[in-house]
């Protein structure tokens, strides 16, 4: 829609002003902000404190692997350089995977076993686990 401002009764100085100024002239009772407000980001439910539970799939192998690790360390004792079968963390990982194969249960991935074994070895401070054969 084209408006011919020469036929209006408005002074020429008003015609030259920007569109935002026109808004103020046409609606003086409304207040228009000169600077835009920052966008408000909605908060996540965890940020609001509404949900505190972990999400995602529940661990499948955690109890089975931890129980078997306790049994292994009760039988073998701590890792020892003199024992060729029970020397390093990789030997423990092989024993855990072999246990699943022997039982006919689907074995977890090596990365899963490695994580559980590493956590177990880091937290292994129970007094009953230092028994040997």
Q: How does pLDDT run across 81-112, given as a tens digit for each residue?
A: 888 888 999 999 999 999 999 999 899 999 99
How far apart CA 129 and CA 74 sit, in angstroms, is 5
Query: Dihedral of CA 127/129/132/133: which sign?
Result: positive
CB 101 within 8 A of CB 114: no
How far apart CA 2 and CA 80 sit, in angstroms, is 91
Q: Using a pLDDT cut of 90, give the percent of the chain over it.
A: 32
Helix 89-103 to helix 62-76 angle (10° resolution) is: 120
Q: Where are the domains of the chain?
A: 62-130
The first and second tokens of residue 125, run together, are 């401070």
């Amino acid at each position: 829609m084209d408006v011919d401002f020469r036929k209006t009764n408005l002074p020429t100085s008003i015609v030259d002003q920007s569109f935002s100024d026109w808004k103020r002239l046409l609606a003086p009772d409304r207040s228009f902000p000169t600077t835009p407000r920052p966008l408000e980001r909605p908060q996540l439910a965890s940020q609001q404190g509404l949900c505190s539970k972990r999400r995602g799939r529940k661990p499948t192998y955690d109890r089975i692997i931890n129980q078997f690790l306790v049994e292994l360390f009760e039988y073998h004792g701590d890792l020892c350089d003199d024992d060729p079968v029970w020397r390093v963390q990789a030997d423990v990982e092989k024993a855990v995977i072999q246990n699943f194969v022997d039982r006919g249960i689907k074995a977890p991935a090596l990365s899963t076993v490695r994580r559980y074994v590493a956590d177990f070895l880091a937290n292994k401070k129970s007094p009953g686990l230092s028994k040997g054969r």
